[in-house]
Amino acid sequence: ICGSDLHSYLEGAFVAPGQVMGHEFSGKIVEMGKEVQGVKIGDRVTVMPLTICGRCPRCLEGSSHLCEIGLAESVAYGLPGAFAEFVRVPNVILGSNLFKIPDNVDDAAAALVEPLAVALHAAKMSAPGPSDTCVVLGLGSIGLNTVQMLKALGAGRVIGIDISPVRLKLAAQLGADITINGREVDALEAVTEITGPGAYGVGARADIVIEASGVGALLNQAVSMTRAGGKLRIAALYEGDVMVPANQIVQKEMSVSGTFAYRGEFAQVLSLLASGRIQAAPVITHTFALDDIEQAFRTQLDKDVSIKVQVAP
């Protein structure tokens, strides 16, 4: 269950009534179209759920995750999703929207390739270097996975911030060098202590800040944590409009960008999993049968007990 599924579940966001959700999944091929090549019945696979047109300007420049035409017909967004016994994947192209799972990667881990690709994309969009101090705000599954990916990409120092001791502990286990409990201390002050104050004593001076909490007040703090010329990447969705200190963005000439979905990161995630460089198992806290999906959603909503809840049809 994805964080965005919770917005759909609670507010009807992103999907129309009657939509079968579920866009993070793995499974076995039981039937296939005549023209599908490179796979056979029984193969274990995971799916990139976005449907792309391949012809619009965004697709042609290689940013098919921003396709201007196809996305409305994606698996779980328009087409039926994977909270089901079977799911149909249209226009299968091996290596594009279908990926074979290496033998040493289990089904549960393979179902996390999609959110891991989101995290890898967010980490790549911030291009961390060995001398960079990176801050990840919000250690839900995207935040935790972003911590892993930043380290895998060679980030110098990663600071994880959350209010849940369980998540902070897990962040440390997954490679965070420093963790900060935002309930116990002021997160901006704590980061400032680590990085030193920003120019003219304003805010902190982190090289890279990734906002993964979806809390407006934290996006605000994220701007203040970023150094002059630094990078702020926004990997969360927010309930309403958010106010940010725009003058700081201008005066620090910060680079601010959203990071959405993935841009061909699936194969790299699978090889990172197969090599053991990143882990999927630690974030999976619960697994429910398909019949108990209501309970699965309620468990995913309880941030104090769950990180990633899976459904096993």
Q: How far is CA 116 from the centre of its chain?
A: 6
Q: In the bound complex, what is the minimum distance in angstroms from residue 47's beta carbon to Zn ion?
A: 12
Structure-block tokens of residue 122: 């967010």
**By the rule CB under 5 A, 2 interacts with Zn ion:** yes
Of 45 and 59, nearer to Zn ion (C-beta) is 59
Number of residues that bind Zn ion (CB under 5 A): 6
CA pair distance 229, 194, nearest whole angstrom: 18
Residues 41-80 that bind Zn ion (CB under 5 A): 53, 56, 59, 67, 69
Residues of this chain, 158-177, that bind Zn ion according to CB under 5 A:
none
Q: Does 21 bind Zn ion (CB under 5 A)?
A: no
Q: Please state the length of the chain.
A: 313
**Complex with Zn ion: residue 2 or 191, whichever CB lies closer:** 2
* Distance, first Cα to last Cα, the chain: 13
Residue 8 CB, nearest distance to Zn ion (Å)? Answer: 10
CA atoms within 13 A on the CB side of 196: 6
Nearest CA-CA partner of 286 in 85, 108, 107, 115: 108
The tally of CA atoms less than 13 A away on the side-chain side of residue 200 is: 6
**Nearer Cβ to Zn ion, position 59 or 125?**
59
How far apart (Å, rounded) are the C-alpha atoms in residues 248 and 285? 39
Query: Cβ–Cβ contacts within 10 Å for residue 312, how many?
Result: 11
Least CB distance to Zn ion at residue 48 (A): 12
Q: For Zn ion, which is the closer residue by CB, 89 or 204?
A: 89
| Smallest separation (angstroms) from Zn ion to the CB of 244 | 24
Q: Which stretch binds Zn ion (CB under 5 A): 2-10, 87-95, 164-172, 222-230?
A: 2-10
What residues make contact with Zn ion under the rule CB under 5 A? 2, 53, 56, 59, 67, 69
